[in-house]
Amino acid sequence: MMNRRLLLQAGLVGAATLSAPFLIAANAQGTGTTGQKRHKIVIQVSDNDPAKWNLALNNAKNLQDDVGAANVDIAIVAYGPGIGMLKLESPTGSRVADAMKANVRVVACENTMRAQKIAKDDMLPAISYVPAGVAEIMKKQGEGWAYLRP
């Protein structure tokens, strides 16, 4: 869990005379077993606009391509006017399926579904659900995830 970079910034690495030595690096984002920093990002989709849905999917792919798919956790959370991205008839349905195959987590907001009288049967298969999309987005940030709103 040590974060060497933070320690270096604090001028602590090489501090040789500590006598009850202990060093603490406590940032919210952990590191992988290789020491490579693991990236985490939640992508918000809240517009009723297929161009935005495609942009969100492009963004997810570009993130994976840039840092390596194995090095980044991505969750796309659709809520409010963005929920259409995840409905059966969504024009981005096949791209959403591709994203899930590539280990992007795709999440729909049940609050929104209730308000818009949408059942799970009306939604794309294999997506995930949370009670409140906005709460998911808030909690993820509290756990150190970055935020992106395309």
Binding site for a second copy (CB under 8 A): 1-7, 9-13, 15-31, 35, 37, 39, 41, 44, 46, 51, 55, 58-59, 62-63, 65-67, 72, 80-81, 111, 131-132, 134-135, 137-139, 141-142, 144, 146-150
**Taking the complex as a whole, how short is the minimal distance between the CB of residue 146 and a second copy, in angstroms?**
4
Which is nearer to a second copy, 9 or 125 (by Cβ)?
A: 9
d(CA 46, CA 134): 10
Which is nearer to a second copy, 28 or 88 (by Cβ)?
A: 28
Nearest of 51, 93, 99 to residue 75 by alpha carbon: 99
**Taking the complex as a whole, how short is the minimal distance between the CB of residue 86 and a second copy, in angstroms?**
17
Which is nearer to a second copy, 125 or 131 (by Cβ)?
A: 131
**Taking the complex as a whole, how short is the minimal distance between the CB of residue 48 and a second copy, in angstroms?**
10
**Taking the complex as a whole, how short is the minimal distance between the CB of residue 94 and a second copy, in angstroms?**
20
Yes or no: say if 126 and 145 are a contact pair by the CB < 8 Å rule: no
> 39 in helix, strand or coil?
strand
Work out the number of other CB atoms within 10 angstroms of the CB of residue 29: 13
Which is nearer to a second copy, 74 or 86 (by Cβ)?
A: 74
Instruction: Report residue 142: phi and psi, to 5°.
Output: -65, -20
Rg (CA), the chain: 19
d(CA 41, CA 145): 5
Which is nearer to a second copy, 97 or 135 (by Cβ)?
A: 135
